[in-house]
């Protein structure tokens, strides 16, 4: 798997390649998630974000109990990434609290996407982008396809598989200069964005 440091680097490159208007909601940070959580729990509240933000939240997300989600029950609890709930929520409430969902899947928070991708890519047995994405989508939404592609691209195991056996050993991923490969990080096409821009 790519190291957390490598991941942080190409995640940043991914965000910088996006249209600035899409960047803010391309990945849901814990802070943004907490605001979404508040809006969904107090639909009448005027204190969180702008009216446009509250409209966007109500359009995109619902609160759902984990049992109501369209997801498989994991057979290996060790492979579970902790439920996405606000940081201040007590541990004991994590089993019964509703989760923020979009399209029947729970929302992946930016800070946990690395872990989600490690689990998904392992379950895909180092398969390509599409196989890894299919594993991600068994439980989570809001993990951009292009970010998954980068994760696979910089996975050392997958890099070794792509390298012919008789050539010299591949350069360790940590030594690769991402900035020299900026061309692969071109802005994404609008239809690939998981975050439709709101009208208002």
Q: Which spans of this chain sit near Zn ion (rule: CB under 5 A)? A: 126, 155, 157-158
Q: Which residue is nearest to Zn ion (CB)?
A: 155
Q: How far apart are CA 89 and CA 139, in angstroms?
A: 21
Give the nearer residue to Zn ion in terms of CB position, either 117 or 155.
Answer: 155
The least distance separating Zn ion from the CB of residue 152, rounded to whole angstroms, comes to 6
The answer for residues whose C-beta is within 8 angstroms of residue 179's C-beta and 6 or more apart is 13
- Nearest distance from C-beta of residue 1 to Zn ion, angstroms: 7
Would you say 185 and 13 are in contact if contact means Cβ atoms under 8 Å apart?
A: yes
Which residue, 21 or 162, is less far from Zn ion as judged by CB? 162
Q: Which is nearer to Zn ion, 85 or 144 (CB)?
A: 144
Residue closer to Zn ion, measured from CB, 129 or 139: 129
**Considering the complex, what minimum distance in angstroms separates the CB of residue 161 from Zn ion?**
8
In whole angstroms, give the CA distance from residue 44 to residue 61. 16
Give 50: exposed, middle or buried? Use CB within 10 Å, 0-12, 13-18, 19+: exposed
Q: How far is the CB of 76 from Zn ion (least distance, A)?
A: 19
Spatial distance between the Cα atoms of 12 and 182, rounded to a whole number of angstroms: 12
Q: C-beta of 128: minimal distance to Zn ion in Å?
A: 9
Query: Is the CB of 83 or the CB of 176 nearer to Zn ion?
Result: 176
**CA–CA separation, 111 and 81 (whole Å):** 11
């Amino acid at each position: 798997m790519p190291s957390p440091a490598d991941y942080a680097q190409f995640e940043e490159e991914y965000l910088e390649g996006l249209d600035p208007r899409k960047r803010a909601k391309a990945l849901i940070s814990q802070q943004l998630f907490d605001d979404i959580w508040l809006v969904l729990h107090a639909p009448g509240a005027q204190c969180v974000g702008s009216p446009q933000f509250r409209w966007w939240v109500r359009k995109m997300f619902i609160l759902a109990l984990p049992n109501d989600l369209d997801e498989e029950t994991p057979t290996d609890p060790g492979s579970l990434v902790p439920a996405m709930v606000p940081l201040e929520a007590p541990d004991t409430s994590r089993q019964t609290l509703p989760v923020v969902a979009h399209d029947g899947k729970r929302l992946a928070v930016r800070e946990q996407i690395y872990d989600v991708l490690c689990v998904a890519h392992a379950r895909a047995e180092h398969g390509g982008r599409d196989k890894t994405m299919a594993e991600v989508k068994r439980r989570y939404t809001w993990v951009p396809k292009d970010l998954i592609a980068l994760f696979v691209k910089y996975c050392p195991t997958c890099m070794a598989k792509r390298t012919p056996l008789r050539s010299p050993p591949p350069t360790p991923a940590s030594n690769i200069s991402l900035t020299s490969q900026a061309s692969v990080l071109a802005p994404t096409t609008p239809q690939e964005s998981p975050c439709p821009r709101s009208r208002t």
